[in-house]
Amino acid sequence: MHRILRPALGLVMAAAALAPAANAQTDMDTRYASWPTYNGDDLELKVDASGTHFTLWSPEAEGAEVLIYNSDRNTPAVDTLRMTRGDSGTWRANVPERLLGKFYTFRVTVGGRTLDETPGIWAKAVGTNGQRAAIIDLDATDPEGWADDRGPELAAITDAVIYEMHHRDFSIHPSSGIVHKGKFLALTEPGTTNGLGRSTGIDHLRELGVTHVHILPSYDYNSVDEANAPANQYNWGYDPFNYNAPEGSYSTDPANPSARITEMKRMVKALHDAGIGVVMDVVYNHTAGGDDSNFSLTAPGYFYRHRPDGSYSDASGCGNETASERQQMRDFIIESVKYWAREYHIDGFRFDLMGIHDIETMNQVAAALREINPNSFVYGEGWTAGDSPLPAEQRALKENVARMDGIAVFSDDIRDAVKGHYSAAAERGFATGRPGNEETVKIGIVASTAHPQVDYSKGNNSRFAYASAPTQIINYVSCHDDLSLTDKLAASMPGSTEAERQRAARLAQTIVFTSQGTPFMFAGEEVFRNKKGIHNTYRSPDEVNAIDWTLKNTNSDQFDYYRELIRLRREHPAFRMTTAEDIARNIRFDRISAPNVVSYSILNNAGGDTFREIKLVFNGARTPFTARIPRGEWTVIARDGQINADGLGTSPGGTIVVPPTSALILARTR
């Protein structure tokens, strides 16, 4: 995710994170814990019939003011309101008028020093670059039909197929045929094509069959200058500035505080109308700035963890880490996600570096979201990017996921086993002919749950069944971090042809999409997009990050394979079991001595499936494998790099050769 240098972290950092933390509680930490807290729904701004009311939480301030402006930047304040002390560490100011259309900032004096102005931490509307908060009629930003807008219903997260997308990647290329390139509105445009007869945009998503779009950070982030839209800037957005307002560079008019809000809502509604849910990537674990962040300018020190010497601790690798275990910060995270769920109808949340947060906070987040929307879900990176003062047993780490209710973590196990290690570009994985990863692939197949035939002592990353249910696991072989799958295959398969690499991608994704747990894919891999071999493209230009949609024609067979693979999963609950017990009962691995081969059956009409048995044989070797399939009336679903969820033909079983780098999937109803 990172702004500075963003390693995607697997085993190495997870292990480091489990090392004993340095003496956790500093004097500062103890002091902050004694501060009064305030969680009223009027924090910072409330406009009602009696006027405009400001309430700032800043217990140690010696004074606080509200500055009122007529515009979002470059104009002097038209009024300055002195705030008076309220209860529970707050400061208050009121005016009898409804100041709709005005902008405001807070200015706090603490320790004898008057700090810079800040829009606060609860600005729900902001102007250009988020420098000033805006007073708007939020209800007026709702698109038509918003009250009836609903995301897709899910029995469990494992029914989701998640597509991770950056707004700009998805629509900025000329071949997208989209009018609002790089904007929220890009996803509201039906009927777009790549000029070669193939759909793009939201129609493409429907055709592919994914259930949820996971949008990279879409709150107001710091690094793209919203006042200079034509500058061709790009950033992933892992540098939070205003957590509760959308990013302005994705709107058609960053200076108009309502535009970014209503346009993001229109995006959500268009996706919901297409039957697609929206997951938002949230980055509460650190802020873009330290002393100059909105947290620091509101209540200096409180929202962050520190080292014993008073400096910021840095589990994020971005210069600071927030302190979710402190009540006011915990409340902030919970209220913030609740706000996005209620106001924007966001269906799911992906927590960046979730291991920086404490388990209790994450459990409260998930519970609060379920109350708002029982179809919502939460997943995150179960690791940190550096050590933290928070004791490891309190961290929302992958290894602790069994203690988290309704939360899933990314499986770096399946990721690294299938394609090779994320940071060692040339290293192959199971799908590309490296032996020794078979047991870790099996760990992926059973979603890191306990299974009598899986030997966790042979796991590459985690050595125990850390998940208590498959609903706790997100399976993937690539995401925005590190090499895209296409680039990873190019780096690890020197001398290979494009066709050979596409074959390897098909095998890799077939393992992911048929495994228990929830599948997740990086946008554009269905057309075999690349990122020009660059690992960390967080601020690379469009030439690197944009998806060229003419690839949908060039690689149409690849797209068809992904579409059918997704359809297979969605039509068959056997791939979507929800308990570890069902997986242990219904999955039976075959004893295979050949390297780079995993073969198993899903039995017993698992999950109520029409198929009594599904047989899957993954051959990652560079030589053919001869499988011995029981005699029966089999439907051949996948073979030799081809797939059709309705069947490619039939087979009586017996000896079947599985060509190199391919999956064989057979199914029978009796």
Looking at the Cβ atoms of 7 and 248, the one nearer to Ca ion is 248
Alpha-carbon dihedral sign for residues 70, 74, 78, 81: positive
Looking at the Cβ atoms of 192 and 242, the one nearer to Ca ion is 242
Residues 247-306, interacting with Ca ion (CB under 5 A) = 247-248
Looking at the Cβ atoms of 241 and 302, the one nearer to Ca ion is 241
**Selected range binding Ca ion among 92-100, 219-227, 261-269, 551-559, rule: CB under 5 A:** 219-227
Expressed in percent and rounded to 5, the helix, strand and coil fractions of the chain are 30, 20, 50
CA gap 613, 591 in Å, rounded? 17
- Contact in structure between 491 and 504 (CB atoms under 8 Å): no
Looking at the Cβ atoms of 248 and 607, the one nearer to Ca ion is 248
- Contact in structure between 276 and 205 (CB atoms under 8 Å): yes
Q: What is the DSSP letter of 568?
A: H
Residue (of 261, 257, 264, 249) closest to 185 by Cα position: 264
CA gap 644, 636 in Å, rounded? 8
**At closest approach, how far in Å is the CB of 229 from Ca ion?**
11
Residue (of 286, 296, 295, 362) closest to 322 by Cα position: 286
Looking at the Cβ atoms of 125 and 602, the one nearer to Ca ion is 125
Looking at the Cβ atoms of 255 and 402, the one nearer to Ca ion is 255
**At closest approach, how far in Å is the CB of 462 from Ca ion?**
37
Residue 405, classified by CB atoms within 10 Å of its CB into exposed (0-12), middle (13-18) or buried (19+), is: middle
Residue for token pair 């609740």: 338
Looking at the Cβ atoms of 183 and 305, the one nearer to Ca ion is 183
- E strand or H helix that includes residue 418: helix 412-419
**Selected range binding Ca ion among 47-55, 245-253, 289-297, 550-558, rule: CB under 5 A:** 245-253
Number of residues that bind Ca ion (CB under 5 A): 3
CA gap 269, 276 in Å, rounded? 9
CA gap 172, 177 in Å, rounded? 9
**At closest approach, how far in Å is the CB of 136 from Ca ion?**
17
- Contact in structure between 90 and 64 (CB atoms under 8 Å): no
- Of 44, 164, 169, 220, the one binding Ca ion (CB under 5 A) is 220
Scored b (16 or more CB within 10 A) or e, 423-443 reads bebebbbbbbbbeebbbbbbb
**At closest approach, how far in Å is the CB of 535 from Ca ion?**
25
- Contact in structure between 216 and 204 (CB atoms under 8 Å): no
- Contact in structure between 248 and 232 (CB atoms under 8 Å): no
**At closest approach, how far in Å is the CB of 290 from Ca ion?**
18
**At closest approach, how far in Å is the CB of 63 from Ca ion?**
29
**Selected range binding Ca ion among 57-65, 111-119, 212-220, 327-335, rule: CB under 5 A:** 212-220
Looking at the Cβ atoms of 44 and 247, the one nearer to Ca ion is 247
Active-site residues, by number, are 352, 381
Q: Which residue is nearest to Ca ion (CB)?
A: 220
**At closest approach, how far in Å is the CB of 3 from Ca ion?**
13
> What length does the chain have?
670
**Selected range binding Ca ion among 20-28, 70-78, 214-222, 231-239, rule: CB under 5 A:** 214-222
List the x/- string, 407-446, binding to Ca ion by CB under 5 A.
Answer: ----------------------------------------
**Selected range binding Ca ion among 54-62, 217-225, 257-265, 495-503, rule: CB under 5 A:** 217-225
- E strand or H helix that includes residue 588: strand 587-589
Residues 576-605, interacting with Ca ion (CB under 5 A) = none
Secondary structure E strands in 426-534? 473-475, 518-522
**At closest approach, how far in Å is the CB of 4 from Ca ion?**
18
**At closest approach, how far in Å is the CB of 217 from Ca ion?**
10
Considering only CA atoms, give the Rg of the chain. Answer: 25
The structure tokens listed for 581 are 């017990």
**At closest approach, how far in Å is the CB of 179 from Ca ion?**
22
**Selected range binding Ca ion among 184-192, 220-228, 484-492, 493-501, rule: CB under 5 A:** 220-228
Q: Residue 386 CB: number of other CB atoms within 10 A?
A: 18
Q: Is 239 in the site for Ca ion (CB under 5 A)?
A: no
- Contact in structure between 285 and 315 (CB atoms under 8 Å): yes
CA gap 216, 1 in Å, rounded? 9
Looking at the Cβ atoms of 57 and 340, the one nearer to Ca ion is 340
Looking at the Cβ atoms of 117 and 220, the one nearer to Ca ion is 220
**Selected range binding Ca ion among 174-182, 241-249, 387-395, 544-552, rule: CB under 5 A:** 241-249
CA gap 347, 162 in Å, rounded? 12
Parallel, antiparallel, or unpaired: how do β-strands 662-668 and 613-619 relate?
antiparallel
**Selected range binding Ca ion among 213-221, 304-312, 353-361, 570-578, rule: CB under 5 A:** 213-221
- Contact in structure between 355 and 403 (CB atoms under 8 Å): no
CA gap 312, 322 in Å, rounded? 9
**At closest approach, how far in Å is the CB of 128 from Ca ion?**
9
**At closest approach, how far in Å is the CB of 407 from Ca ion?**
28
- Contact in structure between 132 and 76 (CB atoms under 8 Å): no
In 183-256, which ranges are continuous DSSP H helix?
201-208
Looking at the Cβ atoms of 72 and 220, the one nearer to Ca ion is 220
Looking at the Cβ atoms of 133 and 663, the one nearer to Ca ion is 133
Q: What is the DSSP letter of 614?
A: E
Residue for token pair 């073979």: 639
- Contact in structure between 103 and 72 (CB atoms under 8 Å): yes
For residue 499, what are the contacts with CB-CB under 8 A and spacing of at least 6?
none
Contacts to Ca ion by CB under 5 A: 220, 247-248
